[in-house]
């Protein structure tokens, strides 16, 4: 894993560097925002950027915004000494996947990095395994539950699971070989970690993609903020629940015609969110 570390204080940078290297991570260091942007361009693939907010020239927020625009699938974690709510939200709105507030322990930072890296490299077989486990536990499906059947796909050696309910307008399919989840008009590829709407790619950050996958896999089901936080950010995440709301807002800006009146991601007030069934827009 290659990490871009932007921190202007040498003592903090050295502390972080040592702990990253102890966990077999390659560290590329920068003292200024300008240097970080230049290194991101010259050093090739960088998995995750750790960005300090308070810098002598351009701020970490500006670096975050530029990196997100240039490298949409790069992981970004903000390192901030500020506790103000607006600063946390600003970083997330500019495209950060997560933030760690100073002072932080090495264990917390490494856990956040590894959690983000897992979101960037999802397990392809997760959905098939989950569906099989659910079938084993549930036994015979109740009448109100989705009916799962296997049918022959057009491509050879591809099994498609179709989830059907009476009067559901939008078909939901999952191709187990190519790892594609289809909830019209969207198609999500686990292998490529991409999302398309009506065959046009929607560029998502690693966290946004993981959140979309979670909701699409549970289409029609209300998913609580707490569950989203656990599934996307990790079981031991200690950040604010607002990180969920900010990412949902960013996703709506990308997939909805009218984000203020969403057709796909519905707010379940006081609880969480739900991907609507029967929506074609």
Averaged pLDDT of the chain: 78
Tokens in use for 108?
Answer: 């917390």
CB 272 within 8 A of CB 224: yes
At 144 the pLDDT is 36
Name the CATH architecture for the domain at 2-120. Answer: 3-Layer(aba) Sandwich (3.40)
The domain spans of the chain are: 2-120, 126-275
Q: Are 178 and 191 in contact (CB under 8 A)?
A: yes
Percent of the chain with pLDDT over 90: 37
Question: pLDDT tier at 29 (50, 70, 90 boundaries)?
Answer: very high
Report d(CA 158, CA 12) in Å as an integer: 51
CATH tag for 126-275 (out of 3.30.465.10, 1.10.10.10, 1.10.1520.10, 3.30.310.80):
1.10.10.10
**pLDDT tens digits, 141-186:** 333 333 333 333 334 343 343 344 434 445 555 444 457 888 889 9
Q: What is the pLDDT of residues 126-148, one digit of tens each?
A: 444 444 444 444 443 333 333 33
User: Tell me, what's the pLDDT at 40?
Assistant: 93
Q: Find, among 160, 162, 178, the residue nearest to 170 by Cα.
A: 162
Please indicate, yes or no, whether the overall pTM of this predicted structure exceeds 0.85: no
For tokens 């609580």, what's the residue? 224
Give tens-digit pLDDT for 232-256: 887 766 666 788 898 999 999 999 9
Residue 85 confidence class, pLDDT cut points 50, 70, 90 = low
Give CA–CA dist 218/212, Å, rounded.
Answer: 10
């Amino acid at each position: 894993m290659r990490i871009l570390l932007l921190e202007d204080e040498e003592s903090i940078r050295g502390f972080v560097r040592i702990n990253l290297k102890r966990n077999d991570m390659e560290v590329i260091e920068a003292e200024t925002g300008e240097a970080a942007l230049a290194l991101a361009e010259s050093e090739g693939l960088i998995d995750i950027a750790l960005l300090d907010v308070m810098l002598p020239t351009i701020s970490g927020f500006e670096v975050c915004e530029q990196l997100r625009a240039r490298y949409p699938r790069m992981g970004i974690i903000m390192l901030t000494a500020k506790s103000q709510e607006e600063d946390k939200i600003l970083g997330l709105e500019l495209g950060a996947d997560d933030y760690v507030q100073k002072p932080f322990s090495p264990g917390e930072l490494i856990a956040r990095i590894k959690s983000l890296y897992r979101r960037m490299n999802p397990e392809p077989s997760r959905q098939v395994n989950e569906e099989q486990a659910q079938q084993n536990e549930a036994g015979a499906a109740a009448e109100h539950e989705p009916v799962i059947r296997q049918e022959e796909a057009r491509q050879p050696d591809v099994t498609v699971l179709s989830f059907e309910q009476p009067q559901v307008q939008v078909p939901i399919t999952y191709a187990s070989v190519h790892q594609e989840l289809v909830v019209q008009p969207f198609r999500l590829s686990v292998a490529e970690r991409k999302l398309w709407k009506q065959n046009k790619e929607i560029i998502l950050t690693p966290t946004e993609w993981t959140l979309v996958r979670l909701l699409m896999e549970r289409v029609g089901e209300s998913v609580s903020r707490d569950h989203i936080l656990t599934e996307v950010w990790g079981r031991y995440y200690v950040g604010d629940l607002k990180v969920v709301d900010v990412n949902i807002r960013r996703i709506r800006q990308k997939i909805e015609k009218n984000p203020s009146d969403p057709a796909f991601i519905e707010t379940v007030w006081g609880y969480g969110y739900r991907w609507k069934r029967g929506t074609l827009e």
